[in-house]
Structure 1
Amino acid sequence: MSPAACAFQGNDDELVRHLLGRPPRLPYVVATRCPAGTPQVLRADPVFWEDGRWKPFPTVYWLVCPRLKKSVARLEQEGGSRMFTQRLHDEPGFREAYLAGQRELIAWRLGEARRLAGDQLPADAERVLAEANIAGSRDLLGVKCLHAHLAHALAGGRNPIGEAVRDRIGPCRADPPCVAPQEGGNRA
């Protein structure tokens, strides 16, 4: 990507700090980027080491694109979470597709957690990773945080809620850029 393709010219770590409004708590990779090259979705490990033990982190995908975050927040304010909860209860095909995607996510999280923690993965951490959906809820059919569902779908996960959110709010655009140079820090 040419330097002109992204309005922000600092490194990803600086930009992610800016997009989160704080330093990242956990290591991450940029899972997807906006059309202008700005990090759009971050993926974190499903476990982290703290206070002498492995702790669970079920919300592995984080939407950081300012434009998409704002659009999703509007959808949530308009009752989007309730609407998708209702669809899960009313539409068997939608529900089964969603649950299949959550099972795939759970299997990936558990495999990755076991790879990272080995035999030191506590049973309670494993239980959280086995029971929580992408937004961290142990009620798989309880929809909260549409940002997490969209992030999961954008990163390639099977998530019909995230796909429907994307369809409702539309795609991210390259122009104007999500983050202007003065917002993101140093210019190259």
Structure 2
Amino acid sequence: MSASDTFTEADADVVEAQLQRRPRGVVRVAWRCHDGRPGVIMTEPRLPGGTPFPTTYYLTCPSLIAGCSTLEASGLMAEMTRRLGEDAELAAGYRAAHESYLADRAALGEVPEIAGVSAGGMPDRVKCLHVLAAHALAKGPGVNPLGDEVVERLADWLARPCLVEQAGR
């Protein structure tokens, strides 16, 4: 883990401003926005207090959250799910992304309640672009083909100033 991945108290304050709540169970910063703020955090598979939490890679950047919400409202998830049923190569890549996600979570600890369940609808459907984008940003290109597509579509959103900054925080 590099120093830029370490989750500091300052990072916790930024994520709290981004999400409007204090983050829980954070392992590290998995990806930082162009301005150095946390954009994706990696979380424990079991939150303090014992609640299972399958979302290992959690998108926190308000600009990207807004961009993913806009893409979801456009019907992109249904189109991507349809393509999974038609394109065997895409489906295989998405299944591999699911396995990657599960392996990363297993490295943090086993939680029987969510065994075999990744996030975002993987491996058979698309139900959350936020998760796919977070996974793709955290792991880099080539790991999650649909996450990579979401990140490509977010190019304009990636260049925007952090909404925390715009809100004067």
Q: TM-score, normalised by structure 2?
A: 0.82
- Alignment match of 2:76 (pick from 63, 80, 88): 80
In the TM superposition, what whole-angstrom CA distance separates every residue of 1:121-160 from its partner, at most 9, and x where no partner exists?
A: xxxx325132x1223x4x7312111000000000016111
Aligned residues: CA RMSD: 2.2
Aligned counterparts, 1:7-156, within 5 A = 11-50=10-49, 54-114=50-110, 125-130=111-116, 132-135=117-120, 137=121, 140-156=123-139
AA of the residue aligned to 1:159: N
CA distance in 2, matches of 1:37, 1:108: 23
- Once the 2 structures are TM-superposed, how far is the Cα of residue 69 of structure 1 from its aligned partner? 1.1
CA distance in 1, matches of 2:107, 2:37: 29
Q: TM-score, normalised by structure 1?
A: 0.75
In the alignment, is the contact (CA less than 8 A) between 1:134 and 1:152 conserved in 2?
no
In the alignment, is the contact (CA less than 8 A) between 1:17 and 1:23 conserved in 2?
yes
In the alignment, is the contact (CA less than 8 A) between 2:85 and 2:91 conserved in 1?
yes
In the alignment, is the contact (CA less than 8 A) between 1:32 and 1:155 conserved in 2?
yes
The answer to whether the aligner puts 1:162 opposite 2:147 as a matched pair is: yes
Q: Could you say what secondary structure the match of 2:127 adopts? A: coil
AA of the residue aligned to 1:71: G
Gaps in structure 1 of 5+ consecutive residues: 1-9, 115-124
Q: Could you say what secondary structure the match of 1:75 adopts? A: helix
Q: Find the structure with the greater CA-based Rg.
A: 1
Q: Which runs of 4+ in 1 moved over 6 A?
A: none
CA distance in 2, matches of 1:127, 1:57: 9
- Once the 2 structures are TM-superposed, how far is the Cα of residue 25 of structure 1 from its aligned partner? 2.9
AA of the residue aligned to 1:129: A
- Once the 2 structures are TM-superposed, how far is the Cα of residue 62 of structure 1 from its aligned partner? 1.0
CA distance in 2, matches of 1:108, 1:180: 31
- Once the 2 structures are TM-superposed, how far is the Cα of residue 13 of structure 1 from its aligned partner? 1.4
Gaps in structure 2 of 5+ consecutive residues: 1-8
Q: Which has the higher contact order (CA 8 A, sep 6+)?
A: 1
- The worse-fitting range, judged by mean Cα deviation, of 175-184 and 66-75 is 175-184
AA of the residue aligned to 1:108: D
AA of the residue aligned to 2:153: R
Q: How many residues align?
A: 158
In the alignment, is the contact (CA less than 8 A) between 1:46 and 1:56 conserved in 2?
yes
CA distance in 2, matches of 1:176, 1:56: 33
